[in-house]
């Protein structure tokens, strides 16, 4: 854009216009948060100016970095002024005038369509905080001067409808003044009383003085630098809310002052629930890094391993340089030491919960257990340690509650050598799996694992406290002697197995008489060294052409169905019914494993059999 001495009009992009329309017309609850957003923008701009001052010595002496808020009841205006980094023409057009997150509009419209209230508080999370001011203002004017030589002072103004204009300004100090012309029904925000209470509520911890009237309105700075005993729970929780924008109180915190090879202070929090989708870019914010008391970034997640990314808070260290990129920080020995100390401390806190406060730990695990499991891949050295933090469903409670491996092992009879588990796609199908029958009869506990992450991790885990993990769907189940069963004469068993072998042919690896079934007629088991059916299911869902390894069909020779099949076969009459019954048994077993790809043939066959069975002639 060529420089001009004239005022220039710009049109908002279509999406921005729609968004503005929504902001102006549908956000009524929590309107006061606009001030938090504007103060937060001012504070960001001040942080940038401070880093610039500290790293670029040509800037001269330290200047006053502060926010000044002025109200004018008569004119019904409210101004927020900062001595920060200011905005260039490009900033005004491409940063201020553009929706950062394309999901914003869709999200708000979805909420509206669903008849849900759209809370103004949601706005800030989408990177359009500035525009929330149009909830209360019908016109906004900005005067800004960016820091640096040859900077151009600019005025920006808009009424929040279709357009904004930019014209040359007269500001002489770098920084920005945002002046709101308040709507008639928002007069309240032109009073010091109201403004002061909003600052106390949302912006008390802002790192720069906020001057209102003749006083500083925010009171508390650098909470983490205070002595632990000098902070109240309430202050700490408020600080957490300020940092994260979360409404709920955190369920735990750590206040650290570490002196050693690296020295740092930290105030960390464990939220009561996930604050957003994990492992996604938008959710990377949450760990604020200060170097020597100066704010650097609010997304210093590289100071935590991936499986502890849910932890939020502040780390303040003198041992990292100010102007250094994430990539460099990540590799620096100081950052690595901080990461390993934080990991130890956080796991230490969680460990205390497992022994002193089971209820709290279980609540934590319900929310964050899935993320902790990521550590099995990324932090190989801590695999054994992480296993202690896992909680699994188990037949001990009939799959109703979670158990620690330690407790499973404690309940094991002395001669049991394995920790048995069953992978499945849902808790319900695990609970009713035929594979469990013999375990139920023998009173052996089995872990039920419906979480796909477990399918990918547990089979690779060596052992826990010397007990190895063993899937119960394999052929190599050795549960000791089982002489009490198998009453079918050997010849009959052979005939039966042969019938199945002939009928099923190449589709299976073999047929065997089962020792694990009690009520079910048959089940598929994994041949030695084969893949667990649940793993196979997952592979198939990722690649429809994937062909799993062949299975062994185990049949329950005790089952009345098997006796009937044998009888039918010896009468040499309805051979087609024998074949259909065998097909049905086989596909039924596939179905139970979630691996029946064409249910239509199964249902058609079942219908034919039912027609025969219900025929009264
Ligand atoms: P967000 O702050 O989430 O990025 P905003 O709509 O509030 O979204 O602001 C958009 C951008 O405008 C900011 O990222 C920043 O670049 C710029 N900006 C807003 N207010 C100021 C200010 N007071 N000083 C400097 N830049 C600002």
Most informative mutation of 37, 48, 95 for ligand 1 (most atoms within 8 A of CB):
95
Residue 443 burial class via C-beta count within 10 angstroms: exposed 0-12, middle 13-18, buried 19 and up: exposed
Nearest CA to ligand 1 atom 6: 128
- DSSP strands (E only) in 73-226: 77-82, 137-145, 154-158, 163-168, 175-182, 210-212, 215-216
174 C-alpha vs ligand 1 centroid, how far in Å?
15
* Residue of 184, 207, 180 whose CA lies nearest to 195: 180
pLDDT at 285 over 80: no
pLDDT at 460: 84
Q: Three-state SS for 22?
A: helix
29 C-alpha vs ligand 1 centroid, how far in Å?
23
Least confident interval from 128-132, 167-171, 254-258: 128-132
Most informative mutation of 44, 50, 65 for ligand 1 (most atoms within 8 A of CB):
44
Between the CA atoms of 300, 305, 306 and 309, what dihedral angle is there, to the nearest 10 degrees?
-50
Q: Are 69 and 165 in contact (CB under 8 A)?
A: no
Q: Are 168 and 151 in contact (CB under 8 A)?
A: no
pLDDT at 27 over 80: no
Distance, CA of 269 to CA of 264 (rounded, Å): 16
pLDDT at 483: 44
Q: Are 176 and 95 in contact (CB under 8 A)?
A: no
Query: What average pLDDT does this structure show over 470-489?
Result: 69
pLDDT at 339 over 80: yes
* Residue of 89, 91, 86, 92 whose CA lies nearest to 52: 86
pLDDT at 275 over 90: no
Query: What average pLDDT does this structure show over 123-146?
Result: 85
pLDDT at 324: 64
**Residue 135 token pair:** 């909830």
* Sheet with strand 264-270: strands edge to edge: 252-258, 264-270, 312-317, 287-291, 294-297
41 C-alpha vs ligand 1 centroid, how far in Å?
5
Distance, CA of 368 to CA of 273 (rounded, Å): 8
218 C-alpha vs ligand 1 centroid, how far in Å?
21
Ligand 1, residues at Cβ distance < 6 Å: 37, 41-42, 45, 82, 84-87, 91, 95-96, 100, 127-131, 176
Least confident interval from 26-40, 110-124, 218-232, 335-349: 110-124
pLDDT at 486: 52
> In this structure, what are the phi and psi dihedrals at residue 400, rounded to the nearest 5 degrees?
-90, -30
Q: Are 351 and 387 in contact (CB under 8 A)?
A: no
Residue 340 burial class via C-beta count within 10 angstroms: exposed 0-12, middle 13-18, buried 19 and up: exposed
pLDDT at 263: 93
Query: Distances from the Cα of 384 to the Cαs of 91, 338, 361, 461, 471, in angstroms?
Result: 50, 22, 18, 9, 19
Q: Are 208 and 66 in contact (CB under 8 A)?
A: yes
pLDDT at 281 over 60: no
37 C-alpha vs ligand 1 centroid, how far in Å?
9
DSSP secondary structure letters along 167-193 = EE----SSEEEEEEEE-GGGGGGGSHH
Least confident interval from 63-77, 122-136, 506-520: 122-136
Atom in ligand 1 nearest the alpha carbon of residue 84: 24
**Residue 134 token pair:** 């149009």
Average pLDDT, the chain: 87
Atom in ligand 1 nearest the alpha carbon of residue 131: 6
Higher per-residue pLDDT: 595 or 407:
407
pLDDT at 200: 86
pLDDT at 25: 78
Query: What average pLDDT does this structure show over 43-66?
Result: 79
DSSP secondary structure letters along 125-139 = HTT-GGGGGGGTEEE
Q: What is the pLDDT of residues 202-230, one digit of tens each?
A: 888 888 999 999 999 998 778 898 899 99
* Residue of 27, 166, 169 whose CA lies nearest to 109: 27
Nearest CA to ligand 1 atom 10: 96
**Residue 404 token pair:** 């620690």
DSSP secondary structure letters along 530-573 = ---HHHHHHHHHH-TT--PPPEEEEE-TTSHHHHHHHHHHHHTS
131 C-alpha vs ligand 1 centroid, how far in Å?
10
Atom in ligand 1 nearest the alpha carbon of residue 124: 3
Return the percentage of the chain with pLDDT > 90, whole number. 55
Higher per-residue pLDDT: 322 or 412:
412
Strand 510-513 with 294-297, pairing: unpaired
pLDDT at 258 over 80: yes
Q: Three-state SS for 309?
A: coil
Nearest CA to ligand 1 atom 27: 41
> In this structure, what are the phi and psi dihedrals at residue 101, rounded to the nearest 5 degrees?
-105, 120
pLDDT at 543: 83
Q: Are 212 and 206 in contact (CB under 8 A)?
A: no
Query: What average pLDDT does this structure show over 182-205?
Result: 92
Distance, CA of 562 to CA of 162 (rounded, Å): 77
Q: What is the pLDDT of residues 552-576, one digit of tens each?
A: 999 999 899 999 999 988 887 667 8
Least confident interval from 41-50, 389-398, 567-576: 567-576
Place of tokens 């002595």: 227
Q: Are 578 and 568 in contact (CB under 8 A)?
A: yes
Torsion sign, CA atoms 349, 397, 477, 553: negative
- Which pTM was predicted? 0.74
Most confident of 9-18, 196-205, 599-608: 599-608
95 C-alpha vs ligand 1 centroid, how far in Å?
7
**Residue 497 token pair:** 């197995």
Residue 260 burial class via C-beta count within 10 angstroms: exposed 0-12, middle 13-18, buried 19 and up: exposed
Nearest CA to ligand 1 atom 4: 127
Torsion sign, CA atoms 513, 518, 522, 528: negative
Q: What is the pLDDT confidence band of residue 308, given thresholds at 50, 70 and 90?
A: very high
Place of tokens 């369920």: 251
* Residue of 408, 410, 357, 2 whose CA lies nearest to 166: 2
Characterize 465-487 residue by residue with b for buried, 16 or more Cβ atoms within 10 angstroms of its Cβ, and e for exposed: eebebbbbbbbebebeeeeebee
């Amino acid at each position: 854009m060529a420089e001009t001495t004239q005022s220039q009009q710009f049109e908002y992009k279509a999406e921005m216009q729609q968004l503005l329309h929504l902001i102006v017309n549908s956000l009524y609850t929590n309107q006061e948060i606009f001030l938090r957003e504007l103060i937060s923008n001012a504070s960001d701009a001040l942080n940038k100016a401070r880093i610039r001052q500290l790293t670029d010595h040509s800037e001269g002496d330290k200047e006053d970095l502060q926010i000044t808020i002025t109200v004018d009841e008569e004119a019904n205006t409210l101004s927020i002024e900062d001595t920060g980094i200011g905005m260039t023409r490009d900033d005004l057009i491409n940063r201020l005038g553009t929706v950062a997150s394309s999901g914003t509009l869709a999200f708000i419209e979805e909420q509206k369509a669903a008849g849900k209230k759209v809370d103004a508080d949601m706005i800030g999370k989408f990177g359009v905080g500035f525009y929330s001011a149009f909830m209360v203002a019908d016109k906004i004017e900005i005067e800004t001067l960016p820091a640096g030589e040859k900077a151009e002072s600019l005025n920006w103004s808009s009424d929040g409808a279709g357009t904004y204009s930019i014209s040359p300004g007269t500001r002489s100090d770098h920084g920005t003044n945002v002046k709101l012309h308040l709507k008639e029904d928002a007069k309240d925000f032109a009073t010091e009383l109201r403004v002061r209470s909003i600052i106390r509520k949302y912006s008390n911890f802002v790192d720069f003085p906020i001057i209102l009237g003749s006083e500083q309105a925010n009171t508390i700075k650098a909470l983490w630098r205070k002595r632990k005993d000098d902070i109240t729970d309430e202050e700490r929780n408020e600080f957490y809310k300020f940092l994260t924008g979360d409404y709920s109180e955190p369920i735990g915190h750590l206040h650290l002052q570490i002196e050693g090879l690296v020295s740092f202070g930290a105030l960390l929090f464990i939220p009561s629930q996930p604050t957003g989708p994990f492992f996604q870019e938008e959710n990377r914010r949450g760990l604020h890094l200060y170097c020597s008391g100066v704010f650097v970034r609010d997304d210093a997640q590289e100071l935590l391993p991936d499986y502890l990314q849910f932890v939020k808070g502040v780390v303040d260290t003198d041992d990292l340089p100010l102007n250094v990129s994430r990539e460099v920080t990540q590799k620096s020995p100081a950052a690595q030491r901080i990461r390993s100390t934080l990991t130890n401390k956080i796991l230490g806190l969680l460990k205390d919960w497992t022994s002193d406060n089971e209820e709290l730990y279980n609540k934590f695990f319900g929310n964050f257990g899935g993320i902790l499991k990521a550590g099995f891949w990324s932090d190989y050295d801590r695999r054994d340690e992480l296993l202690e933090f896992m909680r699994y469903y188990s037949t001990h409670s009939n799959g109703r509650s979670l158990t620690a491996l330690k407790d499973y092992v404690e309940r094991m009879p002395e001669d049991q050598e394995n920790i048995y588990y069953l992978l499945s796609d849902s808790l319900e199908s695990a609970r009713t799996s035929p594979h469990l029958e013999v375990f139920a009869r023998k009173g052996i506990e089995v872990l039920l694992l419906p979480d796909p992450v477990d399918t990918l991790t547990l089979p690779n885990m060596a052992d826990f406290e010397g007990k190895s993990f063993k899937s119960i769907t394999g052929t190599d189940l050795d549960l000791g002697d089982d002489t009490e069963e198998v009453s079918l004469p050997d010849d009959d068993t052979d005939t039966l197995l042969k019938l199945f072998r002939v009928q099923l042919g190449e589709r299976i690896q073999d047929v065997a008489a089962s020792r694990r079934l009690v009520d079910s007629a048959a089940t598929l088991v994994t041949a030695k060294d084969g893949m667990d059916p649940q793993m196979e299911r997952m592979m198939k869902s990722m690649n429809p052409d994937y062909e799993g390894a062949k299975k062994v069909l185990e049949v329950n020779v005790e089952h009345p169905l098997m006796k009937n099949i044998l009888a039918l076969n010896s009468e040499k009459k309805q051979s087609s019914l024998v074949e259909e019954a065998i097909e049905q048994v086989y596909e039924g077993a596939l179905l139970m494993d979630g691996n029946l790809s064409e249910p239509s043939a199964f249902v058609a066959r079942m219908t034919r059999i039912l027609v025969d069975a219900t025929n009264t002639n």
